[in-house]
Amino acid sequence: MNNLTSRQFEIFEFIKKEIEFNGYPPTRSEIAKVFGFKSPNAAEDHLKALKKKGVLNIVSGASRGISIVKEDLGIPVIGLVNAGGPILAQENIEKRIPSSQNFLSHGVDFYLRVRGDSMIEAGILENDLIAVNKKAQIKKGSIVIARINDEVTVKTLKSISSELVVLQPENSDYSNIEVNPKTEDLSFEGTCVGLLRDFS
């Protein structure tokens, strides 16, 4: 944690637990009471320190005007997807890209690292990161992230009906993938809403 002293960490943890338990933050006096301070000002000093270190927000004048600064974990980058589990499972997360570091972050649930060359004619190359929105409407013509029998693949959705889904690679060396969702296990993980390529 953000170079807090051990005492500051205790106070910080207490505040978090209070919010969790009560639904609202403690007052200076409540903090002082729990830690045995004889003055609420001891708590005030701690709050100022915790604010300075960037882990708390303090709204001046507001009673209990304390909130936890939630760290920007960043948008996860998914590398290889392990079978049999959710795509966003911890073990699939290669790293995270802070949303503040990227203009392409609004409506992006995760980035998926592209494997293979099946989409090169759509300008999507191996190792590119495609930005995926999980909730955007899946529709004909959009580039979708599909899961067929637990295999994750990125393709253009060519057509969709209750008995036939056609996924089209954007590479003339490959042929269309036809799936019957009634007999095969098909799900959509999301829609491609952007692309990142790092030349470094």
Cite the active site residues.
118, 155
Nearer to a copy of itself, 24 or 141 (CB): 24
| Residue 7 partner contact from DNA, a copy of itself, none using kind-dependent CB cut-offs of 5 to 8 Å | DNA
56 binds DNA (CB under 7 A): no
Q: How far is CA 133 from CA 14, 94, 95, 148, in A?
A: 36, 18, 18, 18
Amino acid at 100: S
Q: Give me the least distance between CB of 86 and a copy of itself, in Å please.
A: 5
Q: Give me the least distance between CB of 6 and DNA, in Å please.
A: 6
Interface pattern 24-53 for DNA (x via CB under 7 A): ---xxxx-x--xxxxxxxxxxxx--x--x-
- CA 101 – CA 99 distance, rounded (Å): 5
16 binds DNA (CB under 7 A): no
116 binds DNA (CB under 7 A): no
- Between helix 40-52 and helix 6-22 the angle, nearest 10°, is 100
- CA 52 – CA 101 distance, rounded (Å): 23
Q: Give me the least distance between CB of 58 and a copy of itself, in Å please.
A: 11
Q: How far is CA 127 from CA 37, 111, 195, in A?
A: 56, 11, 11
> Would you tell me which residues interact with DNA (CB under 7 A)?
5-8, 27-30, 32, 35-46, 49, 52, 58, 60-66
